[in-house]
Chain A
Amino acid sequence: MQAKPPLGTNWIGLHTMVRREVSRMMRVPIQAFIAPWISALLFIFIFGFVVGGRITHIGGHRYLEFVLPGIVMMNVVNAAFLQSSSAIYFSRFIKFIEETLVAPLSYAEMIAGSLSVVVLRASVTGIGIMLMGVGFGATHVESWPLFLFWMVSVSAVFGLLGIIVGLWSKSFEQLNMPVVFFLTPLSMVGGTFNTVEMLPEWLRWLAWANPFFYFINGIRGSMIGFDETPPGLGIGLTLLSLLVLGLTVWRLYAKGYGLRE
């Protein structure tokens, strides 16, 4: 047998993982993109024209301006989580995850391949909603670098969480549990619709303890310049979450948890 040269990063393998996941995602464009955009349009209509007119300005901003970044973030989180958890779970359920297990792909390449598509889907979803907001004159972007940081880092955080849930789930019921019990409630009470000051004093700790609060405030700061959290705290917590979740997922892959028999 002829000796093969040593393997470096398998860029073609990584690119193939991205191509495969994009192809899978594009089979369901209505679910992936149209549904969140329609729901965001409804939010814009209700908060901009039905309810918004009756609510006084918050922090010098119209109510729709205040709410829209939270709607962007809620959809980014959902898109990221659903993309990664369903991709992993479906590939385990049908067993075509074995295609990547038998291939010369490192764990880091497998994770990076999944996460790239997660970030792509979540960013397209989020930027689409932001552009709708701009079209209706309801928002703008004050800092593009910060806006992109929040978009990409929060997608990656929830993409990694989705991978963990996708590896852990043994049924579709389990796969949906985190969305029902954690993601939706926490994002609803995470400062999308109100400031901390609007909450009763005894309940404010709940906002500060909710990670969504930092993500929503971060993106709101990058879009309309209104941020209730101390500077740098949200960014620090997000980077720490990325590190912890990234190491956890890498460890799970290395142990073969949910992947190997």
Chain B
Amino acid sequence: MSIPALKINNLRKVYRRGTVAVEELSLTIAEGEFFGFLGPNGAGKSTTIHCVTGIAEPSAGTIEIFGLDSVKDYREARRLVGLCPQEFNVDPFATPRQIVDWMGGYFGMPARLRKERIDMLMEKFDLVAHQKKQFRELSGGLKRRVVLARALVHDPQLIILDEPTAGVDVELRRVLWRYLAEINKDGKTILLTSHYLEEVERLCRQIAIVAKGRIARLGSKEEIAGGPGGLEQAYLVATGAEADHVAGQ
């Protein structure tokens, strides 16, 4: 059996002020999987992603990335992961080219390889005309493209996309879908969070629904979205929002 791309065991995250963001969360994502990670705002999706990528410190539990412990072997584990975060955590005065180039550099990519990858990504995400502007001058959609390019520059094996299409136009969304499907076909593992259920249904083969820091439902797309009402109904039931939803109608 091959080593899973991501294995989370009993993850718990409690913030300093006592807020329990994630509780006993366990999941395994096989290599090459396209995994949808759904849940309402504040459910613990971003916290889980932050624990996986090193932005947050897990309070308990273990995280393995391709068999590497994300705390003990953090350097080896991190070079296998690319993160496109929900927020624009970028130097606003830097240019898109600098931002992507610096990230490639942090991952130890030599200059020539960086240039090739950056040229390809600038082309792919239609950033060539904007690559020398300051990040703060770009529109929301262009900013999103820059952080996507930054996540992909080092050609990671596990790509984590935290709401990558929030606030982007239909055109980019389709470009991104095509690109993600393409790289997933080439063997990259993708973990995607999104509030667009049709996006998850279109791209993902496995789905987890998180509510109040715990996994409420986990299974294949067919298992979860195959019932009456489809993925939306399954989501509302799993997150406990069904009653409110019905009452609101």
CB-based contact A261/B94 at 8 Å: no
In the complex, the answer to whether A95 meets B75 with C-beta atoms within 8 Å is no
Interface residues of A in 1-32 (CB under 8 A from B): 1, 4, 6-7, 10-13, 15-17, 19-20, 23-24, 27
**Is residue A94 contacting chain B, with contact meaning CB distance below 8 A?**
yes
Interface residues of A in 105-119 (CB under 8 A from B): 105-106
* Chain A contact residues, CB within 8 Å of chain B: 1, 4, 6-7, 10-13, 15-17, 19-20, 23-24, 27, 91, 94-96, 98-106, 256, 260-261
Picked from B3, B55, B76, B106, the residue with its CB within 8 Å of the CB of A261 is B55
Which of A4, A15, A100 is close to B76, meaning CB atoms less than 8 Å apart? A4
Known contacts A1-B66, A261-B15; decide if A104 and B108 are in contact (CB<8 Å): yes
With A1-B157, A13-B106, A23-B98 already in contact, the answer to whether A102 and B15 are too (CB < 8 A) is: no
Residue in contact with B103 in the complex, picked from A15, A95, A99, A106, CB distance below 8 Å: A99
Number of cross-chain contacts by CB at 8 Å: 99
- Min CB–CB distance A116 → chain B (angstroms): 14
Q: How many whole Å from B209's CB to the nearest CB in chain A?
A: 23
Surface stretch bound by A, among B82-90, B138-146, B220-228: B82-90
| Chain A hits for B85, CB < 8 A | 98
Determine whether B53 belongs to the interface, using a CB cutoff of 8 Å to chain A: yes
Q: What residue in chain A is nearest B105 (Cβ atoms)?
A: A16
Q: Which 4 A-B pairs have the closest CB atoms?
A: A16-B105, A103-B106, A95-B89, A261-B56
* Interface contact B76-A104, CB-CB below 8 Å: yes
Chain B CB count within 10 A is highest, among A11, A12, A19, A105, for: A12
Contact present for A94 and B109 (CB under 8 Å)? no
Q: Please tell me if B159 contacts chain A, counting CB pairs below 8 Å.
A: no
Task: Report if A260-B106 is in contact (Cβ < 8 Å); known contacts: A102-B78, A102-B81, A104-B75.
Answer: no
Residue B91 is within 8 A (CB to CB) of chain A in the complex? yes
List chain B residues, Cβ under 8 A from A105.
75, 106
Q: A98-B55, A99-B89, A260-B55 are in contact. Are A106 and B102 (CB under 8 A)?
A: no
Cβ distance B1 to chain A, nearest Cβ, rounded Å: 14
Contact B66 A101 (CB under 8 A): no
Bound together, the chains give a CA A241 to CA B131 distance in angstroms of 44
A27 to B5, CA, bound (A): 41
Interface presence of B242 (CB below 8 A): no
Whether A96 contacts B55 by the Cβ 8 Å rule is no
B74 neighbours in A (Cβ, 8 Å): 104
| Complex CA–CA separation, A106 to B92 (angstroms) | 25
Closest approach, in angstroms, between the C-beta of A248 and any C-beta of chain B?
19
Inter-subunit contact B57/A100 (CB<8 Å): no
Could you tell me the dominant secondary structure of chain B's interface residues? loop
Residue of A nearest to B16 (CB): A261
- B106 in complex: contacting residue of A1, A6, A16, CB < 8 Å: A16
Please name all residues of chain B whose beta carbon is closer than 8 Å to the beta carbon of A17 when the two chains form the complex. Answer: 106
Tell yes or no: B42 within 8 A of A by CB.
no
A94 and B92 CA atoms in complex are apart in Å by 8
B78 contacts across to A, CB distance below 8 A? 102-104
Give the residue name and chain of the B residue nearest to A99 (CB): B103
- Cα A120 to Cα B102 in complex, Å, equals 20
| Assembly CA distance A15 to B109 (angstroms) | 11
Asked whether, in the complex, the Cβ of B55 is within 8 Å of the Cβ of A12, the reply is no
B54 within 8 A of A: yes
The interface residues of chain A lying within 8 Å CB-to-CB of B107 are 13, 103-104
Report the separation of the CA atoms of residues A96 and B146 in the bound assembly, to the nearest whole angstrom: 13
Can you identify 16 A-B contacts, CB atoms within 8 angstroms? Answer: A7-B108, A12-B109, A12-B110, A20-B94, A24-B93, A94-B92, A95-B89, A99-B89, A99-B150, A102-B55, A103-B78, A104-B79, A105-B106, A260-B55, A260-B56, A261-B47
Distance in angstroms from B115 CB to nearest chain A CB is 13
Give Cα A23 to B105, complex, Å.
Answer: 14
Chain A residue at minimum C-beta to C-beta distance from B32: A1
- Which residues in A have their C-beta under 8 angstroms from that of B108? 7, 10-13, 104
Whether the pair A101, B103 counts as a contact (CB closer than 8 A) is no
Contacts of A11 in B (CB 8 A): 108
Cβ–Cβ contact A102 & B91, under 8 A: no
| Interface flag for B199 (CB, 8 Å) | no
B50 within 8 A of A: yes
